[in-house]
Each structure stands twice: as structure tokens, then as C-alpha cells.
A and B are shown apart, each in its own frame.
Chain A
Amino acid sequence: MANGPNPAAVVTAIVAKDVRQRLRDGSFLVFGLLLPLGVAFFFNMLLGGDAQQRTGSTYAVVNGDDGTLGENLVDGMLRPLDEDGVLDLVVVDSEDGAREAVEDGDADAAFLIPEDFSRSLDSGEEAVLTVVGDAESPVAAYIAQEIGRAYATEHHRITLTVASAFDTEPDPEAAALLLEEAESARAPLTVAENDGLDTRQLDTATYYSASMAYFFVLFAAMFNVTSIFEERANGTLARMLASPIPRWTILTAKLSSGLLIGLVNMAVLALATTLLFGAEWGHPLGVAALVLTGVLAIVGLTAAVAGFASGSEQAANWLSVLAMLLGAFGGALFPISQLNELAVVSYLTPHRWFLEGLTDLSAGGLSAVLVPCAVLLGLGLVGTAVALLRMGRMVKS
């Protein structure tokens, strides 16, 4: 023991102790698993991003038309979409059967083609195409409506009406509500070529799984990084400083335990959301690189900010605000497009780079993560350097 204990063993011991404490106080469970999973689940449900929508929702169609135009809509428009895997098409016999299918959740929406569809169009009258949507999956209704609209624009005399599955008669009020919901829910999934949405987007399940996991990883890291303040206050830091360990091992351990907890969180969440919500994170190597650099960036920033605080409470306050700002401006809480001209600010946040990395990964190859990873790594290193400088004070004599 002449030269003191082995530094690697010391760092390991401190990290193990910190992790044990985080398991005891429940912060790992709450901030690392329950909250991100819960919130992702909530958004996922709210915005209708169930697993089916990744491959396409199921749509029922009733072709009551005694002419040829109804067939034209089914075979010329809906079937090709089915074949392309955009949606699953189910042909049903009656309007009641279609409504029932939507009501029971067997279909997400239904197209009702009336008996007089061709006749009306041929005779120059208005024809009505009805879309029945389930209020609980507004996105599906929205897509169905877009499809209907695409067809209607080709045939100018088609009026599109939208109905909720729970009304036997199309109720204008409910329809308006449903439409409104559908419009505001605008899931990042594109169907029609002409709707102008960016096709390079994550699907709902993946977006919310990844953004919530990354949003909450800051909190998970926070408890480890700020625990040094508690150790100072309760005297255990003095005990560590009095022991024959090199001082740098203490800070190294604090940052390492934040990193470790963050990585474990992200790994578990990636797995859990894949299994539970059908999230598709992407190529494991690319995801691993993004998660590693992404968590490093968060731990670095967290520690850097904490380094300027005077105690754990102040640090926790500052970091909670930071988490919200980064989440909001980084596109983790709502899509960046809603930031409008402020969107450029998002490039200052690791969240933007992390989510963009995942998006690029899903669209392009592995190499697409290089730039986001490099930026995240840079943020992490700068943050860590600042943190070591500032926190160094705490282990100085």
C-alpha cells in the first residue's frame, strides 16, 4: 500500500458506490426508466403512433358504387398504396360493416363510396366520398382524408366528408373536431406525394422514444454529478480526501458514474421502446455511436453547469431549467419545425444533433452519423473540460 491504492480500483469503487446509491434512491428507476417510458408511451398514444402505422394503417373500403368510378378509386388508388406497403386495405360489404371495423379497432379508418358515386359524377352533380375515422387514431383519419382529398382534386365534383366512427350519420361538428385533431396531430409520416411534408423524419414511435430517452438522460446524469455537493456537505468527501487516493479519481468517478448510468438508461430504453412501441432506432452500430457521444455530451454539459453552482440544490434547479431549454430548443419536446425561425438555435443543443443523427441513420447509411457524433463528442469534451476546471475547486485543499 506504499503508493496508495490502484487508481482504477478506486474509480471503480466510487462508481459502484454511486450506482448503488442511485438504485437505492430510486432516481435511476424513475428518471431513467419510468418517466421516459411513460411520457413516450403517452405521446405515442396521443398521437396515434401505434406499431401498425410504421407499415401502414389498416383501412376499410366499401364500394357501393354501381358504376365504374368507385372501382377506379379502389383499384387505381387504394390498391397500389396497399401494394406499396403504405397501408393495409380491407374490402368490406356494407357501410355498417365498415363502421363496425373502425369502431372495433380492426381498421383505423374507412372509405365509404356511395351507390350513386359514378352516377352523380357522370351527371355533373356533386358526389360524396365519406371517410370514417376513429377519434382515437386521428393520424390514420388524417391520412385517409389526405388520400380522399388527393382523389377528390382529380375529380372536382367530389365532396369529401369526414365522420367519426361513433356517429351513424356524419355529424358536422364531430367531423370538424376530428379533422382539427387530425390536422394538429400531423404525424411525421407521409403518404401522399404532394403534401409537402419532409419525408426524412422518424416515425412517431421512434421519435418520441428517442427524444424522451435523451431528454431524461440529463436528469439521470444530474443525480450522479451533483452528488459531489452532497458528499461535500455530509463529510464523506472529506473522508475520501483524507484517504490515500489521488484526488483526480474522485471527479473522474463522478463523471464516469453519470456516463455509465446514462448509457445503461439509453440502452434499456432503446430495447424497451423497440419491444413495447415498435420504435426503430436504426443500425445498432450507428445508434451505439450516437448514444455514447450523446450521453457524453449530456454528462459534460451537466457537470459544467453544476460546476458553477454553490450546492446540490442550486445545481438541480439550474439543471432542470437547462433540461427544459435543451429539450424545447433541441426538438425533443416538440418537432423543431414549430420553432419557426428559432429553429437554427436548435443546433446549439445536443438534442438536435442526437435526433438528427438518428434521422440520418434511418435515411442514409452508417456514415450519416459521423457529423452528429463528432459534434456531440466535441460538446462532451468541452463540457468535461469546463467541469473539471470548475469542480476541481471542490477537491482542492
Chain B
Amino acid sequence: MPVLEVRGVSKRYGKNLVVDDVSFIIEEGETYGLLGPNGAGKSTTIGMIIGILQRDAGTIRIDGAEHSVTNSRTKALIGFAPQEIAVYKDLSARDNLRFFARLYGLSGARARAKADEVLEMVGLSDHAGEAVSTFSGGMARRVNIGLSLLNDPKLLILDEPTVGVDPQSRNSILESVQALTRGGLSVLYTTHYMEEAERLCDRVGIIESGRLRAEGTQRELVAQVGEDDTVLVTLGGPADKALDRLRALDRVSEVSADGTRIRLLTEDARGVLPSVLRTLTEEDMDIRSVEVQEPDLEAVFLRLTGKGLRE
């Protein structure tokens, strides 16, 4: 039985259909990434899944049970870390954890023990008694995520958990998510960083303008789009005179130049690279750098929507 089942869910704000007939499922132990640009409808979709927003259409099942904004049983199965750092900054990390633990029905001693356990898990035991306002962005993020683990959720929902954190904290957050999923937790993860989706997610849904445009493993998505590799060559001088010879090469589908840069599209970058370099050397061109880009989610996204993820 899937842990989360979203069927034909829609949400409208006035005339704006901000989530439009979205369906997907998350199996037990699976990490599902919702990848989309700003305003795509990720947070709104999540709002309906965690039961704080009423949906206008569709059904949501959590662990097989019909979910609604008033169903405390299904809500108790979900752990949720919002996009913004939603904590009481004037209170200590420990007080924050104890407070929310009590909202999940943990009484005094159990709430205290759980708070300590989570502090340990997110590596903040040494700062437990300090006000969150004194924390760095990365530490506050960890409190934010820690709060979503208090109820030992079956489904963990992280809405852009790495926004605005330094690379080191980001890495530690990604590592802890990976550790949690190894423990069998199902995760719904939204981001507009494709590297994160690629690293963490078993499957990815690409959402744009409220619609789920494509869905699958990274490989499936790339195959579905059939994106070519891109070879970027930067030269010491004008690139024009080699273009015709490059176009004539086998398995090169498209060549374009932009000043001193040449962009080649090919189905097999590694295979054509030697002949590309040989051609350029024969033309006496000064090669400064060569870069091969494999098809990635960014490229898939571009193909699907004609937009960049962070435009």
C-alpha cells in the first residue's frame, strides 16, 4: 500500500488554478522529489497533503486512509518541515521541540525524552538550551527539520529544506535525509535545486504552473525527453570557420557558435569528442576549455517547459 496517494488534486485561489489535477504516489521507503520553479505550486500541494489547506478537488490517502484537514489520525502520521523556518526564535531549541512534541500527544516525560533524542539526531545537543535566535541559518534549519521528526512519522515532508544554508549545512541536511530514508522512511521532498533531486530522490515529479508535467526516475525522465549531450568548447579566437566541418561530423546533431564558444548537441559526447578536438586542431584553433554536459533534470525541465528551473 502506498504511504501517500494523491489523486486529481486541485487548488484554486480566486481565478488562479494554482494546483491543477495533480496525481502521484509515494511507496513505502521511497523518496519522491517535487521539482519546480518558484510559484509552481509545490508548497500549495504540500499544504493540502499535510492537511492545512482545503483542496478543491481530488482525494488524498495517507497509509490507505482518507485524509482531510480534520483527520487527526492521518495527520499524526506526517512529519512536516515548512519552507520557512517555523520555530519560536525567542525560545530554546529544546523548548521548541518539547512544545510541538506535546501537540503530537507526547506527555511530559516522553516529550522531554523525544526532544533530547531529536536534538541528538540533528546534532544540536550542545546548543539545546540556547534561543534559536542565536543560531546560524544552518542550525535553525536543523531545528526546523528536527521538529518534523518528533512524531516518528511514516511520511516526512520537507519543503525546500536547504534554502539559504551554506554548502556544509546543506550537505549535512542531505546526509541526514539519506540516513532517514535508509531507515525506511518515505519522504516527499520539494526543491528547485536539481542536484538535490538527483542525489536524493528515487523518483521525481516535475511541476510547473500547477501541473505535473512529467514523472519518473531520473533515467526515465531523461529518456522520455531524449535529450542530447551538450559539448561546450571555448576557443582563443572566433569560432566561425570550423562550424561547417563540425556539422559534417558523424552523430553531431546541431552546432551553434556564440563568439568564441561552440555548442554541439550530440547523442554520444564521449564518442564524438576526439574527432571534434582533432578537427579544431587541424583548423589551427586555440582550445581553451572543453565541457561535456550529460542530460540532466535541468535539461529535461528546459525541454518540457522552455524555462530554466531558477528563472
Contacts and interface: CB of A to CB of B under 8 A. Distances in A.
Contact of B88 (A1, A6, A17, A247): A17
Contacts of B80: 239, 242
Interface of A: 1-6, 9-10, 13, 17, 20-21, 24-25, 234-236, 238-247, 397
Given A5-B103, A5-B104, A243 B86 contact: no
Given A13-B102, A243-B103, A244-B104, A3 B88 contact: no
B245 interface: no
Nearest to A395: B52
A6 B104 CA distance: 10
A235 B90 contact: no
Interface string B34-67: 0000000000000100111110000000000000
Given A13-B103, A20-B95, A235-B82, A242 B72 contact: no
B107 A244 contact: no
Contacts, number: 90
Contacts of B76: 1, 4, 244
Given A9-B102, A21-B90, A243-B104, A3 B78 contact: no
Interface in B74-114: 75-76, 78, 80, 82, 84-91, 95, 99-100, 102-105, 107
Interface of B: 47, 50-54, 69-70, 72-73, 75-76, 78, 80, 82, 84-91, 95, 99-100, 102-105, 107, 131, 147
A238 B52 contact: yes
Q: Which secondary structure characterizes the binding site on chain B?
A: loop
Which 6 interchain pairs have the tightest Cβ spacing? A235-B86, A4-B72, A5-B105, A244-B72, A13-B102, A397-B54
A2 B104 contact: no
B279 to A, nearest CB: 57
19 contacts: A4-B76, A4-B105, A5-B103, A9-B107, A10-B102, A17-B88, A17-B95, A17-B99, A24-B90, A234-B85, A236-B86, A239-B80, A239-B100, A242-B50, A242-B51, A242-B52, A242-B80, A244-B75, A246-B72
A383 to B, nearest CB: 27
A6 B106 CA distance: 10
B82 to A, nearest CB: 5
A239 B73 contact: no
A24 B69 CA distance: 33
B72 A3 contact: yes
B101 to A, nearest CB: 9
Contact of B73 (A2, A240, A243, A246): A2
